[in-house]
Amino acid sequence: MEPVLRSLLPLVPLGGLAGLLSGLLGIGGGLVFSPLLLWLGHGPHQALATSSLAITLTTLGGTWSHLRTRQLPLAPALAIGLGAGVASALFSQLGRGWNGALLLALQAAMYAVLTVVIRPAEAIPEAASANQQPLAGLAVVGLVAGLSSGLLGVGGGLVMVPLMVSLLRLPLRLAIRLSTLAVLVSAAVAAPTFVADGRGLVPIALVLGSAAAVTARWSAARLNRVPDAFLVWLLRGLTAFLACDSGWRAFGLWIS
């Protein structure tokens, strides 16, 4: 038991870092979890599935903070949560038979597109009230989260936030809060599939997710203090880095 505990302890600060990013950006932490697990020597399927398990705990902390402060409007939350849950249930079975290099290449492509699409806050017009947003549009955004979580083990927050801000004209902080909820739903729906088929490494997911849940709750409660411009540029920097990392790993698997 002791060697196992020693091997898991170094994951605690890394889970904490993922939680800080989750609370600030509305992501699930998969952008930290997946590369970390790959660096530790796990295969793409295990890394992506374990990431999704950890995401469930991570986003639970942030979502609870937003619900407690009553900053999640009910109708938009239900719309995006429903879309995320349905898509995650459909796509969680699909990635099992896909080549690991292909999954990583899809991740790299997604991150590269986001790096170009995400715009600085000053370039985005003032958003309308959340209650005026089309619920159908939010449900579609939730579908994106479910596809991303079920297929790639990434919660989809990096995709959803730009979509809600740029296309649906939601305020940035509201988009982040709704994204956190949608990621929680999509990851929670996909998690049982990953546990049942053996792709998800439960002890690692519990350590990463638990540490991240604590820091996610802390950073989510302080979201209003962070300037919009900093949040947007942080998103762009993360997506650019992850596009390079996932692309390099996909190439390495392809030529091996």
Q: Both tokens of residue 149?
A: 């979580």
Q: What percent of the chain has pLDDT over 90?
A: 0
Instruction: Report the alpha-carbon distance of residue 71 to residue 119 in Å, rounded.
Output: 24
Position 132 scores a pLDDT of 58
- Asked if 84 and 76 touch (Cβ cutoff 8 Å), the reply is no
Which residue intervals of 9-97 are DSSP H helices? 11-25, 30-39, 44-68, 74-91
Instruction: Report the alpha-carbon distance of residue 173 to residue 2 in Å, rounded.
Output: 43
Q: How far is CA 231 from CA 73, 120, 132, 205, 215, in A?
A: 22, 9, 24, 27, 17
Position 166 scores a pLDDT of 75
Mean pLDDT for all residues in the chain? 76
Is the confidence at residue 240, as pLDDT, over 60?
Answer: yes
59-111: pLDDT as tens digits: 887 788 788 888 888 888 899 989 888 887 777 666 566 666 777 787 788 77
Position 130 scores a pLDDT of 44
44-59: pLDDT as tens digits: 778 777 887 888 887 8
151-200: pLDDT as tens digits: 665 656 777 877 788 778 888 788 888 888 888 888 788 778 778 777 77
Torsion over CA of 118, 171, 185 and 51, rounded to 10 degrees? 30
Tell which wins on pLDDT, 143 or 92.
143
CB atoms within 10 A of CB 149: 35
Q: Both tokens of residue 226?
A: 């962070």
Q: Which of 2-11, 142-151, 171-180, 201-210 has the lowest mean pLDDT?
A: 2-11
Is residue 101 classed exposed, middle or buried when 0-12, 13-18 and 19+ CB atoms within 10 A define those classes? middle
